[in-house]
Structure 1
Amino acid sequence: MSFYKLYDFLRDLQKNNSKDWMDENRKRYHEIRDWYIQWLDELNVELARIDDDYNDTPGRKAINRINNNLMFHPNKPVYKDHLGAGMDLSSHGKQGDFYIHLGTQESFIAGGFYKPKKKILDSLRDAIDYNGADYKRILNKKSFKETFYVINDGDSLKTAPKGYSQDHEHIDLLRLKTFAVQHDLTQKEVLANDFKAKCIKVYKEMKPFRAYLNKAITV
């Protein structure tokens, strides 16, 4: 098994996104899913080895369901056109994960908080109000900027959040509703023999960013 077969399956699924097709190809899906879970298990061991604060996340816990939630999104296809996995998941759920997304349209590694709920968003803004300079130093580090781009969903506030002044020195950050970064991947990179090593390298570079955000919501 390999990432070649994973992408082949996702391309076929995209062309035949129906329960009938999945039922006919369920054995193939489970073979690919089980292989990917094993690959994630190996990555999990490596991440735990390099980070004392890493939360053990076996592949079976990390991998996301391939079914779309049609109850809340009835117009979406039955199945996703990608496989997603969140590593370094905390038991209490109060942590931004290290997310790997492998899909037919795009593949990437991301981390942080995407449109978090109000309580988490308030905590992130409190941290930036108290010490936004440290956060900006992380974002402006040369190697970090070369590795990631900040996810901008276009949903930032037009004015200052309640309780903050318009002339706050970090008003550009306080207006944000998403605190996350992304590193895009080509299929060629995913198919390469050193893909696991690349994931580890990206994890290391993202670590201070995630540590800042995770501290903000737990302190």
Structure 2
Amino acid sequence: MKRVLSFLTDLVPNNNKPWFDANKARYKEAQAIFNDFASDLLERVQSFDPEVRGLTLKDCTYRFYRDLRFSKDKTPYKKHFGIFIAKDGKCSGHSGYYFHIEPPHAGYLGGHLMCCGAYAPEPKVMRSIREEFMLNGEALVKAMSKAKGFEMEWDGALKKIPRGFPQDSPYADYFRLKKILITRYLDDAFILEPDLAKRAADLFATCTEFNTILNRAIDYAYEEY
């Protein structure tokens, strides 16, 4: 992964077509290295989570070229590589496993990380997840506690508990969430050490129960609302 980090680090202050064209060979090499890692990670996650079996690499990875049509930021290339392994694919709205490589100074997510959950759920999905906390909060909190080194993301949470949810619930704070995401932040050493796919998969395996419970709530939302 050293060459992946080197390419991304150099791209950050040079995010323009002339520089990219001059370094196209480095990009292709970095993309190939990441794809090899992502394929290995996907296969390992599929070995312990049957809900993501059958997915291909294309179902889980993203274009490196940015869509500039509706963005004020006109830099043409992403400054990171990522893979999102989720039931029915990356655009399904389901909870899944996301792995992200980004130089710390790139300014997108702030560095390398891995996370599980649903980043931007539809309102009906978030309501179903809140109901899951209300009815099955103990199991969800227990599942989160098994996720090794992952912590809940609280940024953007509502200041007040939404109407219709009990103020006195032991899980009331979770009703305030607008996304449901547990994250583990990583340093360069983690990315550069050998057997990255195995180490990442071993950590993701501790999140499987969390994803399974969330996807039950998400499926219910799509079926009932």
Aligning the two structures, in what range does the TM-score lie when normalised by the shorter sequence?
0.7 to 0.9
Assess, with a 3 A threshold, how the Cα gap between structure 1 residues 75 and 122 changes in structure 2: closer, same or farther: same
- Given that 1:63 and 1:84 are in contact with CA atoms closer than 8 Å, whether structure 2 keeps it comes out as yes
Distance 1:51 1:89 in 2: 9
CA distance in 2, matches of 1:204, 1:116: 23
Letter in 2 for 1:56: G
Counting only pairs closer than 5 Å after superposition, residues 23-172 of structure 1 correspond to structure 2 as 23-75=21-73, 77-91=75-89, 93-105=92-104, 106-139=111-144, 141=145, 143-144=146-147, 146-153=148-155, 155-172=156-173
- Report what 1:184 is aligned to: 185
How far apart are residue 151 of structure 1 and its match?
Answer: 1.2
Sequence identity of aligned pairs in percent?
25
Equivalent residue number for residue 14 of structure 2 = 16
Give the structure-2-normalised TM-score: 0.86
Amino acid at match of 1:118: P
CA distance in 1, matches of 2:48, 2:171: 33
Q: Deviations over 1:160-185 (max 9, x none)?
A: 21222322332111111121011111
Distance in 1, Cα, partners of 2:164 & 2:30: 50
Distance 1:137 1:36 in 2: 33
Q: Is the 8 A contact 1:94 1:214 kept in 2?
A: no
RMSD between aligned residues? 2.0
Query: Gaps (5+ residues) in structure 2?
Result: 105-110, 221-225
Q: Figure out how many residues of one structure are paired with residues of the other and give that number.
A: 213
Displaced runs of 4+ in structure 1, greater than 4 A? none
User: Structure 1 stretches of 5 or more lacking a match?
Assistant: none
| Mapped partners of 1:194, 1:171: distance in 2 | 40
Offset of residue 22 of structure 1: 1.5
- Structure 1 residue 14 displacement after superposition: 0.8
3-state SS of 1:193 partner: coil
1:76 Cα deviation after fit = 5.7
Amino acid at match of 1:147: G
Q: Matches of 2:116 and 2:61 in 1, distance apart?
A: 15
Give the alignment's TM-score, normalised by structure 1.
Answer: 0.88
Change (3 A) 1:26 1:43: same
Residues of 1 paired with 2:120 and 2:51: CA distance? 25
CA contact (8 A) 2:12 2:79 kept: yes
